[in-house]
Structure 1
């Protein structure tokens, strides 16, 4: 799976979570903080899953 495809999917997931939180009445400051944390986790996991394995 390519990095760009993984990140597009994760950004869609993040947008859905942020929208759901805003509908639930969570303050926008907390939504922003949570979104930044989840974005960092998403980048780390995307890099880990899509990087090529080093030869032995």
Structure 2
């Protein structure tokens, strides 16, 4: 497991809304496993309706 992938998983697990911009950047230009994890994290954040901080 790569560091980038794990970091994205943790941010998604905690639904950390302030990290959305960085996750979007990783989803676009990160390593393959990081891109997939960032997309998953963004999906989890969207589930909350962006109300948590």
So what's the TM-score if we normalise by structure 2? Answer: 0.39
Greater radius of gyration (CA): 1
**TM-score, normalisation: structure 1:** 0.38
